[in-house]
Amino acid sequence: MENFENDVLDLVKSNMREDLASTASLSVDSHLITDLGYDSIRLMGLFFSIEQDFNLSIINSCANYEFFSVETVGDLVGLLKSKINEN
């Protein structure tokens, strides 16, 4: 499962602003907005990347509110695990 967590961390980093991606400390405890500089546009990009990489429907799903409620990378990892297990 550590591989899965690393995959999510890589996706989070690849969708960050370039200036923050090189300097921010990224961990499962990192807060997407306050620590990593995510805004609504970057979150949408992250969710699109997740849809592609994990074959999940987020953006056009009735359950997309769950993804917009995540605060930390760890929250995102946990939600993704539960969504993948549902499928």
3-state SS, 12-34, equals HHHCCCHHHHCCCCCCCCCECCC
Output the pLDDT for position 15.
94
Cα(59)–Cα(67) distance, rounded to whole angstroms?
A: 9
Phi–psi pair at 44, nearest 5 degrees: -60, -40
Phi–psi pair at 86, nearest 5 degrees: -70, -30
In order along the chain (87 residues), what is the average pLDDT of each group of 10 residues?
88 92 89 94 92 86 80 95 85
Output the pLDDT for position 86.
82
Beta bridge partners of 38: none
